[in-house]
Chain A
């Protein structure tokens, strides 16, 4: 069980990371806010089940990605638009000069559009492994599928992304 003070501390620590992953998954800020809020609601509801010896970040990812996939399965009408550079956008590490930042934002827009075109399962794999830097085993556990399925989904997702981004940057 998590004590109230500890829960507040965990929200302070992990909410920004959860929000970034949610933005990459959903493609827009409003849906990302809803997704993070829903995930934290589940976490708060089930906080009595949490063992403090476990990794809270992994638990949070697992809940958030499953909430996302379940909502995608049940509500295919969910509107998604590609990530737009918005005010207060945090550039990735090593962004460098303004010219480089502009190139990155252009590439980011294209990547957001290409990601939006992927099925939810493939996108979740790409976000977890390629964008969040998790390994295959963590992705498999989070998404509730075998490691081989993660590899297969990544192969298909990257092929689709290369096809979508091909004309740009020689990808």
Chain B
């Protein structure tokens, strides 16, 4: 049927009661006419019931006692933080140091003589590999 492709993604949402009433009625009306979608709806209900009904093993003996012992043995994060000496991190000092280093670097670049070129030296006797002999 033409609408099956549209209705199929809505079936799970219908089973989980996540559709607005108009959509839910649309799914119900379609399922009443379409055997394939009605079967999918029924299969979805059976799967949900089976999943909900699946049991889980009981907790092993002594496991709860182990957890309680853990709670008694473990210090909290706050207690640990109080016990351990924290490193003296001062963001303002680090920022000031960084700014001072930057100022030294910038002033050196602007005011200094600058580095000689790696390719061509200023002296006339040297050989420039990129432009022949320097003048």
Contact = CB atoms under 8 A, between A and B. Distances in A.
Contact of A15 (B50, B64, B72, B77): B64
A102 to B, nearest CB: 13
A29 B47 CA distance: 24
Interface string B42-79: 01101110111111111110011011101110101110
Interface stretch (B10-18, B97-105, B120-128): B10-18
B91 interface: no
Given A130-B48, A169-B46, A44 B74 contact: yes
A96 to B, nearest CB: 11
A22 B60 CA distance: 13
B114 interface: no
11 contacts: A4-B71, A4-B72, A11-B64, A16-B58, A20-B56, A24-B56, A46-B77, A94-B53, A131-B52, A170-B43, A171-B50
Contacts of B63: 15, 19, 33, 36
Nearest to B51: A130
A37 B55 CA distance: 21
Contacts of B78: 1, 48
A108 interface: yes
A162 B13 CA distance: 16
Contacts of B13: 151
Interface residues of B, number: 33
B56 A83 contact: yes
Given A130-B51, A131-B54, A162 B60 contact: no
Interface string A115-143: 00000000000100111010010000000
A108 B53 CA distance: 8
Given A48-B78, A151-B13, A169-B50, A40 B56 contact: no
A152 to B, nearest CB: 9
Contacts of A29: 57, 60
Interface of B: 9, 12-13, 16, 18, 43-44, 46-48, 50-60, 63-64, 66-68, 70-72, 74, 76-78
Contacts of B59: 15-16, 19
Q: Which 6 A-B pairs have the closest CB atoms?
A: A20-B56, A130-B51, A48-B78, A92-B55, A92-B53, A23-B56
A15 B52 contact: no
Interface string A1-40: 1001001100110011001110110000100010011001
Given A40-B67, A108-B55, 6 more contacts: A16-B59, A37-B70, A44-B74, A94-B53, A107-B53, A131-B51
Contact of A111 (B18, B50, B58): B50
A88 interface: yes
Contact of B9 (A24, A85, A93, A155): A155
A143 B60 CA distance: 27
Nearest to A16: B59
